[in-house]
Amino acid sequence: MNRPITGELQALDRAHHLHPFTDFKALGEEGSRIVTHAEGVYIHDSEGNRILDGMAGLWCVNLGYGREELVEAATAQLRELPYYNNFFKTTHPPAVRLAEKLCQLAPEHVNRVFFTGSGSEANDTVLRMVRRYWALKGRPDKHIVIARENAYHGSTVAGMSLGGMAPMHGQGGPCVPGIEHVRQPYWFGEGRDQSPEAFGRACAQAIEDKILTLGEDNVAAFIAEPVQGAGGAIIPPESYWPAVKAVLAKYDILLVIDEVICGFGRLGEWFGSQHYGLEPDLMPIAKGLSSGYLPIGGVLVGDRVATTLIDDGGEFFHGFTYSGHPACAAVALKNLELMEAENIVERVRDDLGPYLASRWSELAEHPIVGEARSLGLVGALELVADQASGARFDKSLGAGSLCRDLCFANGLVMRSVGDTMIISPPLVITREQIDELVRLARQALDETARRLKN
């Protein structure tokens, strides 16, 4: 019934639309899948399929689709004041109220927020704040930021440079200077010759080695996600963060924790850094801040940096037209209020996270799964050709993208990063829907295994 619409939109899409992270030529054959509407944890496409969104859009629709309260918050604010800026000593109620709410929810040492329009802009802001902080401290030489290989921190030039994704660096470099990368704590992929704990300590040691190579007086900050999301839902060994914390303290290096994915309940705390007992100096945020209903991001600024920026800094020549946009801020504030009222964070920590962990770990027995891991409501499966040795499939088989496509066709969105399958569903998912997710994932694994063996 919907086919003519699908075909027409696909043709227009092919003719005019350059999508993010898409091989434009590959659209020629199949065309894009067209998502038309959504409710709860399900999206619907123009072919009439209902699909369980195991990725919450792009890790962001934390409250699920179709929340009227968020629509109303946006509409009311658009009527009242659709736009004003926060430049030059002006502001408006939604930006101020959202700033207050965020600082209430954040750890005690965080009492300021700088708004942006996205997570990428938040990380650009981080880079400028870090450099400005050390300059104001009279230590401009402390300017290098250490980040991690395979990390994703956004698509602006600074975001892509902080990120450690080689294919991004390879398309249109040079990157922003003064950014160095160290290995990621990806035990299954890179550390299985050691115990997870020994590997976690070795990854922290790699940071110290890098600091000593660069000279401790030259290193300004270390940036990482608590759990590396787009890199493959990489949950670090328990030994990693305590050891990293100690290294950074030893050399007086700022800690930046990118909370764009892990913030707002994903790991069962308001901020992922709280799960690991971290006290970041800066925390870029976005995505779940508004459950993705409108674009908004920001940087939560700890007292150490804020005090210097405010007391010693004068004007900070930085900001975006949509920094703290009124309608986006109103939606974000309502989103946080609903999350609090519905105890979403506690439910993830005490009920849904442990439930997902128990159901998800059953998939570790599947013959093409080498590891099934999860924390809160983020999880990953490592696809392998041989379970005993953990050997991967030949790259040319594209096992991960095959499994992802089979999932989608079977009514589940999972993401693939190489041969790692990822889930990050809306935080309002129910236990029954987790059962459905696991059942659909298992079916896709069965079918992937069948096709790869033929």
Alpha-helical regions (H) of 106-195: 119-136, 157-162, 166-169, 187-190
Angle at alpha carbon of residue 381, lines to 44 and 439, rounded to 5°: 50
* Smallest separation (angstroms) from ligand PLP to the CB of 137: 26
- Residue from 261, 267, 305, 407 touching ligand PLP (CB under 6 A): that is 261
User: 384: helix, coil or strand?
Assistant: coil
Using the minimum distance from each CB to ligand PLP, give the nearer residue, 123 or 274. Answer: 123
Using the minimum distance from each CB to ligand PLP, give the nearer residue, 28 or 167. Answer: 167
Does residue 120 bind ligand PLP (CB under 6 A)? yes
Residues in 273-302 that interact with ligand PLP by CB under 6 A = 286, 297
Using the minimum distance from each CB to ligand PLP, give the nearer residue, 176 or 364. Answer: 176
Using the minimum distance from each CB to ligand PLP, give the nearer residue, 211 or 417. Answer: 417
- Residue from 64, 94, 154, 272 touching ligand PLP (CB under 6 A): that is 154
Contacts of 447 (CB under 8 A, 6+ apart): 406, 410
* Cα distance between residue 73 and residue 75, in whole Å: 6
Using the minimum distance from each CB to ligand PLP, give the nearer residue, 153 or 183. Answer: 153
* Smallest separation (angstroms) from ligand PLP to the CB of 58: 6
- Residue from 225, 269, 371, 382 touching ligand PLP (CB under 6 A): that is 225
Q: Which residue is nearest to ligand PLP (CB)?
A: 119
Helices 326-341/93-105 angle, 10° precision:
40
- Residue from 119, 263, 298, 376 touching ligand PLP (CB under 6 A): that is 119
Residues in 321-340 that interact with ligand PLP by CB under 6 A = none
Q: CA dist 408 to 26, 48, 343, 411, Å?
A: 17, 13, 30, 5
- Residue from 229, 265, 400, 418 touching ligand PLP (CB under 6 A): that is 229
Total chain residues near ligand PLP (CB under 6 A): 16
- Residue from 152, 187, 322, 393 touching ligand PLP (CB under 6 A): that is 152
| Encoded tokens for 64 | 């699920």
* Cα distance between residue 114 and residue 127, in whole Å: 13
284 within 8 A of 110, measured Cβ to Cβ: no
420 within 8 A of 233, measured Cβ to Cβ: yes
| Encoded tokens for 316 | 């900070």
* Smallest separation (angstroms) from ligand PLP to the CB of 255: 15
Does residue 145 bind ligand PLP (CB under 6 A)? no
Does residue 118 bind ligand PLP (CB under 6 A)? yes
Stretch that binds ligand PLP, among 149-157, 178-186, 268-276, 350-358 (CB under 6 A): 149-157
Cα dihedral: 399, 402, 408, 411 (round 10): -70
Q: What is the DSSP letter of 425?
A: -
Q: How many CB atoms lie within 10 A of CB 216?
A: 13
Alpha-helical regions (H) of 61-195: 68-80, 93-105, 119-136, 157-162, 166-169, 187-190
* Cα distance between residue 423 and residue 425, in whole Å: 6
- Residue from 112, 132, 148, 153 touching ligand PLP (CB under 6 A): that is 153
Contacts of 166 (CB under 8 A, 6+ apart): none
* Smallest separation (angstroms) from ligand PLP to the CB of 421: 17
Using the minimum distance from each CB to ligand PLP, give the nearer residue, 321 or 430. Answer: 321
Stretch that binds ligand PLP, among 7-15, 116-124, 313-321, 380-388 (CB under 6 A): 116-124
User: 207: helix, coil or strand?
Assistant: helix
- Residue from 224, 234, 260, 283 touching ligand PLP (CB under 6 A): that is 260
Residues that bind ligand PLP (CB under 6 A): 58, 118-120, 123, 152-154, 225, 229-230, 258, 260-261, 286, 297
